Structure 1
Amino acid sequence: MPGRIAALSSRALRIAAELPGEEPARLARWLYRFGTAPRTPEAERDFGPGDDAMAVLGLTPGGPARIRLEAAFEATTYPGWIGFARGNGLPAACKLYVSPAPAALAEAFPTIATVLDRMEVRAFKVGRGLGGLLRPDKIVAYFADRGQLAATAAALARALPHCPAQGVPFTAALSEDGLLSWGIDPPPGSEAASWRAWVTRRIAAAILAARPARGEAAVTAARRGLAATGIDPDAWLCAS
């Protein structure tokens, strides 16, 4: 699906192809962080330091969203994230990214939480602190099958028709505006635990393998290299 995510992913590829250096891990980290909103003085002012930022979402202890979610989910905090799970925890078949722009979080998150609860999503996580809320993949929900993922995405699209989006590069778009996208994590035992970590390592390797080519020649060579490894460089999924 053309749209914001395709544009973000293409822009990241073009910039990465021009960056100096030959270290794959460093380039992969840069690609993984691409699309993160800047940590400006205004963001520091509006969200606050540390976990104070979670008050914007109502997720601090005693906050309205936290109270509602803890009635249905078990909450767990860990570095960088607060997770909500019910039943057997995190299914691993596929994942939905919900990516409101940071300025839209205060208004959008109560609706997102309501939909995820109503759709009986088994598990999701939210980025912690200001850094977590500025990253593009700030809300990730997990599903046992693509049917429930698609139904939940459709419900979110109906509930948030005008929500400003940030968009998650290198994921498969479900909406043209970039608010909703999805992915499938690599199998256990892979060198990276998440889809985006896995795919950005392969992008970095493909770009560096194209050297000394730069610019569009490097981007074209990198896309061919990705396709050769089984990744669709347009849909950002493993090619079937």
Structure 2
Amino acid sequence: MNGRTGVDVGEPASERRLYRSNPRYVLRGLDDLDPSQRQAVAGSSSRPTVAGLLLPAGAEHGTIKAVSQSMARLFEQLAAPCWLPSPTWPALSAEELGDLVGAEVLEVQVADRFVTGVEALAELAPGRPAPPVGRLAALSSDAIAYAESLHLDAQADIAARLYAFHRVAIRPAWRTTEYGDAFRTRMNRAMPHGLGSGPRWVEGPHRPWRTCRRRDVQARAGQPTLKLYISPTPDHLADTVAAAVPLLAEAPGVIGWKVADTVGVMVRPDKFVVYLASERALRDLAGELSPVLAGTGVHGVPFTCESGLDGLLSWGLDPVPSPDGPHVLVDSWRTWVTARLAGGLVQARRAGLTGRQAHSAALQRARAAGVDPSTWQPTSEPVRACEGSAL
């Protein structure tokens, strides 16, 4: 695993600026929403933590944003401009403020005017982001260029295209029942015999993922989740599982893993994911897997940070699953990242930016939220600010 780079993103934590809620949005509580909007909110989160929506005011163009109680309270209190960071809001980091400005939830005063979104980020952090470093970073740049070239208007559609980028097209022969049965047979044979019946591991239900978790580890509320992606080509998946799982089963820092159990998941780049208890556990496991998996065909997961073998191993950091965090609609590192990139592309399109200018706006959006877009390494814990889901 690469070490943390220490790249500065957004504004320094010690620099105070004047912020206010974006007056081009209005806050509507759940009781004020029409039935279709309430249904969309209810269907967008597994936890009942959405307090309302930020809706574009009047004829303004913008993305509808779902917010939690704490985010709704912040939006209401910053109707009057406030200097931040402030003891009133001690939990707001520079990355969270950058994320909120990038999402157009807040405006920040630059010179003598309030600005928001990609315009504000260009003022606060001028200059183009650093070029990509490594195979996966280059692949991620290709994904952004592809998504921008589609000229889509809806943020959710752009995010979905970014997230799905680099999946392998399903061949006609793979769609047959015979191939699906044969694939699952190979995966069964790749797994150690009796793994789930032992004292340490519990196997979950199959289809579409085959999962395994430690019996003695419970979900850790309030902590981010480290994950190691193992990304072989589909033809190498079963052999990779056979080589890797014995190491996973003995590694003390592994708390669980999941691997494809259907063809639809097999073609994803993120087809084999390991969950870990610490950065040291991640580094140790990547070091153990590297010699064992050398020579494996590499697929590669966009928007993840390389850990070795030319992109076969990479990592990410899932957002904190806070019960009342403002960030209630995102559950993984890649959905978190692609939501921000999609937001940057939408804003760039509204501003008339295309090509490299639009790509740069998307990268600035990720950088402001605490991501080094040259490596896709988080420079801090993923923030829990509201990106805003298109509903």
TM normalised by structure 1 equals 0.89
Segments of structure 1 that go 5 or more residues without pairing to the other structure are none
Matched, 1:111 2:243: yes
What residue is the counterpart of 2:79 in the other structure?
Answer: none
- Secondary structure of the residue aligned to 2:228 is strand
Is the 1:167–1:179 contact (alpha carbons within 8 Å) kept by the matching residues of 2?
A: yes
Q: Aligned partners of 2:152 and 2:177: how far apart in 1?
A: 36
Matched, 1:237 2:377: yes
Higher CA-based Rg: 2
Where in structure 2 are the equivalents of 1:70-219 lying within 5 Å? 70=196, 71=198, 72-77=200-205, 80-86=208-214, 87-89=216-218, 93-120=225-252, 121-175=254-308, 177-188=310-321, 189=325, 190=327, 191-211=329-349, 212-219=352-359
Q: Aligned partners of 1:47 and 1:35: how far apart in 2?
A: 25
What residue is the counterpart of 2:147 in the other structure?
Answer: 16
- Structure 2 counterpart of 1:88, one-letter code: V
Q: Aligned partners of 1:111 and 1:89: how far apart in 2?
A: 27
What residue is the counterpart of 2:107 in the other structure?
Answer: none
Tell me which of 14, 33, 36 is aligned to 2:164: 33
Tell me which of 348, 364, 368 is aligned to 1:224: 364
1:175–1:45: structure 2 CA closer, same or farther, 3 Å change rule? farther
Is the 1:28–1:204 contact (alpha carbons within 8 Å) kept by the matching residues of 2?
A: yes
- Listed one character per residue, the Cα deviations across residues 135-175 of structure 1 (whole Å, up to 9, x for unaligned) are 11111111110101110011111111111110110011112
What's the CA shift for 1:55?
Answer: 1.8
1:235–1:88: structure 2 CA closer, same or farther, 3 Å change rule? same
Which deviates more, 128-137 or 221-230? 221-230
Q: Aligned partners of 1:52 and 1:138: how far apart in 2?
A: 17
Q: Aligned partners of 1:20 and 1:135: how far apart in 2?
A: 24
User: After TM superposition, where is structure 1 displaced by more than 6 Å over at least 4 residues in a row?
Assistant: none
- Secondary structure of the residue aligned to 1:67 is coil
What's the CA shift for 1:47?
Answer: 7.6
Segments of structure 2 that go 5 or more residues without pairing to the other structure are 3-132, 381-391
Number of aligned residues:
235
What's the CA shift for 1:177?
Answer: 1.5
1:180–1:217: structure 2 CA closer, same or farther, 3 Å change rule? same
- Secondary structure of the residue aligned to 1:170 is coil
TM normalised by structure 2 equals 0.56
Q: Aligned partners of 2:333 and 2:374: how far apart in 1?
A: 15
Is the 2:134–2:375 contact (alpha carbons within 8 Å) kept by the matching residues of 1?
A: no
- Structure 1 counterpart of 2:247, one-letter code: V
**Aligned alpha-carbon RMSD (Å):** 2.2
What's the CA shift for 1:178?
Answer: 1.0
Q: Aligned partners of 1:237 and 1:64: how far apart in 2?
A: 31
- Secondary structure of the residue aligned to 2:286 is helix
1:192–1:47: structure 2 CA closer, same or farther, 3 Å change rule? farther
- Secondary structure of the residue aligned to 2:241 is helix
- Secondary structure of the residue aligned to 2:236 is helix
Q: Aligned partners of 1:163 and 1:56: how far apart in 2?
A: 17
What's the CA shift for 1:93?
Answer: 3.2
When you count helix as a share of all residues, which structure comes out higher?
1
- Secondary structure of the residue aligned to 1:48 is helix
Q: Aligned partners of 1:8 and 1:169: how far apart in 2?
A: 6
What residue is the counterpart of 1:55 in the other structure?
Answer: 185
When you count strand as a share of all residues, which structure comes out higher?
2
What's the CA shift for 1:96?
Answer: 0.6
Tell me which of 127, 131, 134 is aligned to 1:3: 134
Q: Aligned partners of 1:149 and 1:208: how far apart in 2?
A: 35
Q: Aligned partners of 1:79 and 1:198: how far apart in 2?
A: 25
Is the 2:225–2:276 contact (alpha carbons within 8 Å) kept by the matching residues of 1?
A: yes
Is the 1:186–1:194 contact (alpha carbons within 8 Å) kept by the matching residues of 2?
A: yes
- Listed one character per residue, the Cα deviations across residues 25-55 of structure 1 (whole Å, up to 9, x for unaligned) are 0110111111111101244469823x65322
